[in-house]
Amino acid sequence: MEKKIPKIKTTRLSQKKFEQMSPFEMKNTLKDLAAHHTNKSTHAMLDAGRGNPNWVAAIPREAFFTPGTFGIAECRRTMSYSQ
């Protein structure tokens, strides 16, 4: 049983405005549209936001760079360039 989702009707003028927006302006506009829609509906809007900045997440960052540091250490161990 498939539930039909109503399409958002836009005019050509509003589409042209979307083309001129930055990604952040578009995000805010779409967020406002969704918030307006949830006022009329029983569905809640999930706003996940952007989360924590990358520089806060030190442990995942270390895990991401570990293979690279290992590779550099192995390269230096096995090869030496004469200068």
Count of domains forming the chain: 1
> What stretches of the chain show up as alpha helix (H) in DSSP?
12-20, 23-40, 58-78
Domain of residue 29 covers: 12-42+56-78
Q: Which two tokens stand for residue 68?
A: 């690279």
48 belongs to a structural domain? no
Residue 65 lies in a domain: yes
pLDDT at 70: 94
Q: Report the C-alpha gap between 24 and 49 in whole angstroms.
A: 12
pTM, full prediction: 0.38
11-56 per-position pLDDT tens digit: 888 888 888 988 888 888 888 877 776 666 666 666 666 666 666 7
Contact 48, 41 (CB under 8 A): no
